[in-house]
Amino acid sequence: MTVQPDHTAPNSGPVPTIPHTINAIGDALDGADRALFYSRVLAADETSVPAVMRRWWKTAMLNRAPHAETSRTNTARGQHLVSVDDLAACIEEADAS
């Protein structure tokens, strides 16, 4: 039996999408983020739940991106930054695929 990575390597394809369910989002988050997500979604009224889920789904997906922690470190140091326009173009390309 072999173990498969939970995300694809850079440039080899998209990161697997997390289902838009409370449990899937919670399972994809770690530690303090998971606790904060559940506290926010449980405190939300019925009209706010979708917005809470969308916000935390995005966080969970970004956390899964290859080299996410390296990117955060570079950002904190002001190194290897990506412009908003380049980021938007990447998101548009991914949505088109």
Structure-token match 């697997």, residue found? 16
- SS (HEC) of the chain: CCCCCCCCCCCCCCCCCCCCCHHHHHHHCCHHHHHHHHHHHHHCCCCCHHHHHHHHHHHHHHHHCCCHHHHHHHHHHCCCCCCHHHHHHHHHHHHHC
pLDDT at 18: 93
Query: Which one, of 62, 20, 61, lies nearest residue 41 by Cα?
Result: 20
pLDDT digits (tens, 9 = 90+) for 6-50: 444 445 467 788 999 999 999 999 999 999 999 999 999 999 999
pLDDT the model gives residue 8: 45
What is the tens place of the pLDDT at every residue in 53-64?
Answer: 999 999 998 888
Q: What is the mean pLDDT of residues 61-83?
A: 83
